[in-house]
Amino acid sequence: MHCLSVKSGLLPIGLIVLGLAACGGGASSGSGGGGPTNPTSARTATPTRTRTLRPGEATFTATVPPATETATPTETPIPTSTPIIAGGDLVEAIRHAPAGAVILVPPGVYSPFTLQPSDVNGPITLLADRADVRVGATGALVTVNGNGGSAAITLQGVTDVTLDGFTLTGATLAGIRVTDGIRVTIRNSVIRDNARDGISFVRSSSMLIFNNLVIGNRGSGINLVGNDDTRVINNTIYGNTKSGLNVGDSVLPSSNLFVRNNIFNANGEAGLSVHSSTTGFDGDFDLNTDGYSPAELVGANDKSGDPQFNLPGTEDGFHLPPTDDNCDGGSVATDAADPNTDPGLLNELMMLTTQTDQKLDCLGDFCCPIGCNGADIPCTKAGLPDMGFHYISSRALATATRTPRPTRTRGSGTTPTPGISTTPGIKFQGFRCRSPNHSRLLHRPRPSSLLYAVVSCAFFLLA
């Protein structure tokens, strides 16, 4: 295990990224904790930092030329790596993070933690640096274990916090519990085997629950009480003891709920249960085999057939059967989601997969290969998004490594410094793009800029 450290710097697009390297230690009480549960001795941070990018970005290696020696600095010094020594405390790292930071959390098992308004300095993202964990055995999980506490992650009164890619388990009330939150997002995560609910939002507003696998919790998969303006999109909610999604009660009614593209399957009670006090419910394009409470909640485009998961109950077991070369077959959840869902979210899904053959999801008129339906013409069958949780695909096009800028000390050689340089001038070493049906591939080893890469890829795909 590695010692936690905070690494700050400016990427070319202005994004500040903080890297955490896991270290041993236990959780602190109150709004602390978050350290790996198995302490080990600390180790000096390695000089090279990598960040796993989202699928779909161009492949490149970023390098920055060495700094020119000068006797007197003419710019503000670059912040150095700041070690977090209090047992690898995630909350302490968050407290040191500037507004807009992305904190990369390396694989490991972390203790439960609580965030309050005083712990955050502005919008912040906790990003699990899992590599390709959702493909299968090649990646490593980033797990927050509740260890019998009330929640693995508790957010109290915070604003603009995003949790991306975690496994949350082992809690008594909820895998994640948010009270009085504003614009909190939980995405791309697995919330499983908690003694009560998987996700619990109370008295919160402008919330997003997107592309999560919520399975085997002994309460409801998702429980929303007293919330306003919540979106629940493209989740697979399976095998929970009570309802898949439960909304509102007589004391704390909810309002303005948007539910799209989810799969509710094998839950103990109704897949979708909405209290009569709820106002502004908008649900459609869901697959629900568990029924509705009340029955009139069924959407005009909802489905009810067996999703045909490949191995339900395991984290990698919720893939759908593949479509054939003619774009036929698959599951009832394939090509069945709402094409008018938030375009930004749909674009992310198009770089992921639901199918066992790892085929990327696809939206539009050219998703099927030329010659489908037996004719040597472009297929006219339009692709629609798939319902439910999407995995990282082994066909994903993007991985990238950014190398930190070497710094030169007067009178010595060039030595790498942990962190990301604020100096501009990152050069791209290569990229590739592939046609939607994977029949054509364009590779450019040394483009002059990311803009060149994007433009070249666009002309290639339109040709």
> In 3-state terms, the chain is what percent helix, strand and coil (to 5)?
10, 30, 60
Nearest partner of 120 among 165, 162, 158, 79, judged by Cα: 158
pLDDT of residue 104: 86
Determine the Cα–Cα distance for residues 47 and 428; give it in Å rounded to an integer. Answer: 20
Q: Is the pLDDT of residue 67 over 50?
A: no
Average pLDDT over residues 189-203: 98
Predicted confidence at residue 243, as pLDDT, reads 98
Pairwise pLDDT comparison (210 vs 427), residue with the higher score:
210
pLDDT recorded at residue 455: 53
Dist. CA 5–CA 21, nearest whole Å? 6
> What percent of the chain clears pLDDT 70, i.e. is strictly above it?
61
**Rounded Cα distance, 324 and 41, in Å:** 52
Confidence check: pLDDT of 87 > 80: no
Q: Looking at residue 14, what is its pLDDT? A: 33
Nearest to 148 by CA among 90, 182, 193: 193
Question: Per-residue pLDDT averaged across 135-144, rounded?
Answer: 66
Query: Of 259, 243, 249, whose CA–CA distance to 227 is shortest?
Result: 249
pLDDT of res. 327: 77
Query: Residue 419 above 90 pLDDT?
Result: no
Give yes or no for a contact between 238 and 317, defined as CB atoms under 8 angstroms apart. Answer: no
Q: What pLDDT was estimated at residue 299? A: 97
The pLDDT, as a whole number, for residue 461 is 56
pLDDT exceeding 90 applies to what percent of the chain? 51
pLDDT of residue 2: 37
Who has greater pLDDT, 203 or 132?
203
- 62 to 19, 82, 141, 424, 441: CA distances (angstroms): 17, 23, 26, 11, 22
Which of the pair, 402 or 454, is modelled with greater confidence?
454
Judged by DSSP in three states, 272 sits in strand
Q: Which of the four pLDDT bands, split at 50, 70 and 90, describes residue 11?
A: very low
Nearest to 259, CA basis, from 276, 246, 275: 246
**pLDDT for the residue numbered 280:** 97
- Is the bond leading into 294 cis (omega within 30 degrees of zero)? yes
Rounded Cα distance, 455 and 58, in Å: 12
Provide the pLDDT confidence category of residue 370 given band limits of 50, 70 and 90: low
Task: Report the run of H or E that residue 91 belongs to, with start and end.
Answer: helix 90-95
Instruction: Look over the chain and give the mean of its residue pLDDT values, rounded to a whole number.
Output: 74
Residue 369 pLDDT greater than 70, yes or no: no
| 279-311 pLDDT per residue, tens | 999 999 999 999 999 999 999 999 999 999 999
| Nearest CA among 363, 452, 332, 351 for reference residue 399 | 351
Find out whether 11 and 67 touch, Cβ atoms under 8 Å: no
